[in-house]
């Protein structure tokens, strides 16, 4: 569960991974994770969730790694292939873009004219 506020009624990352439409997941990965391999990841994710529900982060990370092997990921061994996917999911689960907008509006009221 990636929710910062677990009392929040927003869906958990597990619910989103298992229930969200593929096109929506792909848009999250591209927009919030800047993931170039979004299509491969979504295809692997959908194939896996057809067999059984994805129940934990390790399972999700392994699915992503099979779609985008670590050795071929952007020429770097420093970042795990699932990093950008988890970032995107965290942003969606916590509605971080909306929270950022609210924070900027509040900050603007504190600035001197």
Residue 90 has pLDDT above 80, yes or no: yes
Q: How many CB atoms lie within 10 A of CB 56?
A: 9
**DSSP 8-state class, residue 11:** P
Euclidean distance between CA atoms 29 and 33, whole angstroms: 5
Contacts with 9 (C-beta within 8 Å, 6 or more apart), sequence order: none
- pTM confidence score: 0.80
pLDDT tens-digit readout, 92-111: 988 888 778 888 888 888 88
pLDDT tens-digit readout, 38-86: 999 999 999 999 999 999 999 999 999 999 876 555 555 678 899 999 9
């Amino acid at each position: 569960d990636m929710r910062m506020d677990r009392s929040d009624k927003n869906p958990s990352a597990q619910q989103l991974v298992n229930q969200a439409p593929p096109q929506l997941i792909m848009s999250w990965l591209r927009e919030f994770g800047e993931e170039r391999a979004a299509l491969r990841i979504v295809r692997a994710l959908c194939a896996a969730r057809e067999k059984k529900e994805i129940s934990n982060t390790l399972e999700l990370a392994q699915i992503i790694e099979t779609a985008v092997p670590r050795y071929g990921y952007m020429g770097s061994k420093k970042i795990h292939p699932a990093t950008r996917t988890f970032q995107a999911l965290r942003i969606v689960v916590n509605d971080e873009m909306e929270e950022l907008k609210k924070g900027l509006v509040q900050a603007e009221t504190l600035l001197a004219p």
